Amino acid sequence: MSETFSISLNGITDLPRGKLAAIVTSLEMRAAPPLRPDPPGTGGLSLEQIGAADTARYLSIYRVLGERWMWFSRLVKPAAYSEAILADAAVLCFVVRLDGRDVGLLELDFRVAGEGELAFFGLEESVLGKGAGRWLMNRALELAWARPISRFWVHTCTLDHQSAPEFYQRSGFEAFKRSIEVVDDPRLAGHLPRAAAPHHPVIDG
């Protein structure tokens, strides 16, 4: 059974031990923005589409990319949950390849008619700061707006990289909603290592 407690809207709320809280910012665009040029030096990057048969590979790169930012939503579910999503024709999932390695993940969700969600967007630390983020966003925008959608949206939170909201806004998204998410700390249940996301220290339940 889910726990309930009151959150102060004008002050500080102490969370129960073992819980994490994040401020979620949702952003959207209602039309395709002008595409920015791919940065120099990104010609070696490529996308490889994956599906249900690649679930183990998907979860592996998901964990590698997301551990430092507390990605856990797919890790707290059985593998069959991710397999079903990857099998859905309305979901497009790609790994980013460079020099024969998986270095990134792009997942686009079109299961709601008329809109697309940038569900997961991540890159290995080794390629950050070299234009790979802009390159991958260009691919995401091309793929999303090739569909008959009128809205493309994404959400990020304070567990993520601090520059994520600014990057999304530079890409043409506009913030439209802020939310509070409270969850069980996935590190306490072993879904992520205790050393994951050290900028959010573990407080044992």
pLDDT of residue 145: 98
- The torsion of the CA quartet 124, 125, 126, 130, rounded to 10 degrees, works out to 100
| Tokens, residue 106 | 């792009």
Instruction: Taking each helix axis as running N to C, give the angle between helix 79-87 and helix 55-66, from 0 to 180 degrees, rounded to the nearest 10.
Output: 110
**Digit-coded pLDDT (tens) for 56-109:** 999 999 999 999 999 999 999 999 999 999 999 999 999 999 999 999 999 999
Residue pair 26/176 in contact (Cβ under 8 Å)? The answer is: yes
Task: Please name the residues in contact with 9: beta carbons below 8 A apart, sequence gap of 6 or more.
Answer: none
Distance CA 138, CA 55 (A): 25
What does the H/E/C string look like for 164-198?
Answer: HHHHHHHCCCEEEEEEEEEEECCCCCCCCCCCCCC
| Tokens, residue 201 | 């220290």
> Residue 174's pLDDT band (boundaries 50, 70, 90)?
very high
Characterize the bridge pairing of strands 151-157 and 115-123: parallel
- Domains detected in the chain: 19-34+41-184 (3.40.630.30)
> Residue 1's pLDDT band (boundaries 50, 70, 90)?
very low
Residue pair 170/22 in contact (Cβ under 8 Å)? The answer is: no
> Residue 205's pLDDT band (boundaries 50, 70, 90)?
low
In this prediction, residues 14-33 reach a mean pLDDT of 95
In this prediction, residues 151-167 reach a mean pLDDT of 95
**Digit-coded pLDDT (tens) for 98-152:** 999 999 999 999 999 999 999 999 999 999 889 999 999 999 999 999 999 999 9
H helices of the chain, in order, are 55-66, 79-87, 132-145, 164-170
Burial 45-83 (b: 16+ CB within 10 A, else e): bebeebeeebbeebbebbbbbbbbbbbbbbbeeeeeebb
Average pLDDT value for the chain: 94
